[in-house]
Amino acid sequence: MFLSIVVFRFRVFVGVFVQSGLHSWILQGSSRRDTFLKLLLVQTRENGPVVVCCTSEPSLYAETGPKSLRRITAAQNPIRSPSHAARRIPETQSEPATSPEWAERAQTAGPECIASSLNGRTVLGCSSIASRKAARFEKRQRFCSCCSNDMRMAAAGELRRLALACCKLYISDSKNVKALETIERAARSQRLAPLLHIFEDKEYNRVGYTLAGPIPFPSHDQKKHPFVPEKTLPIRSAVMAMVKAAVDSIDLQEHVGSHPRLGVVDHLCFHAIGSASLEQAASLARTVAADIASDLQVPTFVYGAAHEDRRPLDAIRRELGYFRCNSLGHWEGTPELPSELSPDFGPSIASPKTGVVVVGACPWVMNYNVPIQSTDLVTGRKIAKKVSERGGGLADVQAMALLHGEARMEIACNLLDVQKSSPQMVQNLVASLGESAGVDVGQGYLTGQSDEEIFELALEKLFTFQ
């Protein structure tokens, strides 16, 4: 018994993150990736006590300091299962419990899973590790093997209520290896805003990065209590670190590629996933836009929900010459800012080295490109026009024809609502138009992932410790 307790204490520890109002006590057992809930991530409102986990008995623990927990007794905590109503955590009748005491208590607890919303906070976890002792010699250790599948699914459902902000960041360079390494190193500077996806396109000389991080739950009255991203918010810090690294290490004047661009950091798009709201994503976008303008002195434009008039992205791009190209179908340099178009943040003159940045917030957008075995841009543009909603094509689809390599081009599409126009619908229409035009059409591809897939990746990164 003594040996098992020692082994358990060695394998299980409690840590704490304190990042921009996000306080989490984290329980870590086995480092295997197949562990279901080896830590608890708890998001709190900006006001109110910090809540952590239920790991022994049907009890909750709240932090009292970096090395101790405050136990909320079973009598004070009515939650026994995900179906029970949430109640406010009492502030009295608490007793201290150090981490070792907590670990020992957790070892002998009975099976009781918790997956519940408590006073606006998500509380997840398994209160039992009774099976841990029996399972520790097995090859596949599962911390929550005591839980029924129904309880696991309930916990997984509750987990999806976490509020996350996602940022897609597009850099106008895919060949400067040293610069890209610097940017990716900057991206990994924030543990709570993990880099989830990278898409490099050598022909377009462009890289897309996707990262996400937790933010506070949206207020019930967001007009009265708007979300104000703190300076230390992990997703804000990570994005700014990447933007600064790109601006410092890339010269737009040296860029050659067939994809349009307005700047070294061409485009930042913020999305709300989980229980986050679009208003929160918009607030974060405006904050980052202001940061870029003030810290780096780069003209910055906002669009979508981040703009007071909900200005669309393509409207800004059109005014800035984004869709104009030379006779070879290539875009070169940076646009001159029209006198009648002032940036929302920053100077009114763009440096040829950095260009401008466009930052916005909108619902999830999918990018789908369909290759065509031809370099005839006239034909390609006719097809793109018939595919796009603006040209009478598919609803919520934006499309343009771009050269992609020496012997082909692509119909590059933004799918603003895949429920209305799916990638397969785009594929079928391009194939039909290509056949009519006498050109061969290849199988299209997505350059990124769905919001559900990104959410899963974010949870995996946030909930996995090596």
CA–CA distance, 75 with 77 (Å, rounded to integer): 6
Which candidate in 259, 267, 307, 404 is catalytic?
259
CA–CA distance, 238 with 249 (Å, rounded to integer): 17
CA–CA distance, 1 with 7 (Å, rounded to integer): 10
DSSP 200: E
CA distances from 440 to 378, 380, 410, 422, 433 (A): 15, 12, 11, 21, 10
Residue 345, beta-bridge partner list: 300
Q: What are phi and psi of 207, to 5 degrees?
A: -130, 135
Q: Which residue is listed with tokens 């907590």?
A: 102
CA–CA distance, 396 with 422 (Å, rounded to integer): 10
CA–CA distance, 347 with 325 (Å, rounded to integer): 25
Please enumerate, as own/partner, the contacts of 142-149 that have beta carbons within 8 Å and a separation of 24 or more: 142/34, 142/35, 142/36, 143/29, 143/30, 143/35, 143/36, 143/37, 143/38, 144/35, 144/36, 144/37, 144/113, 146/111, 147/36, 147/111, 147/113, 148/113
Closest residue by Cα to residue 198 from 214, 185, 189: 185
H runs (alpha helix) in 218-357: 234-249, 278-296, 313-319
Cα 14 to its chain centre, rounded Å, is 26
Q: Which residue is listed with tokens 């009292």?
A: 64
Cα 425 to its chain centre, rounded Å, is 27
Report the DSSP pairing between strands 300-304 and 357-361: parallel
Is residue 330 part of the annotated active site? The answer reads no
Catalytic residue numbers read: 259
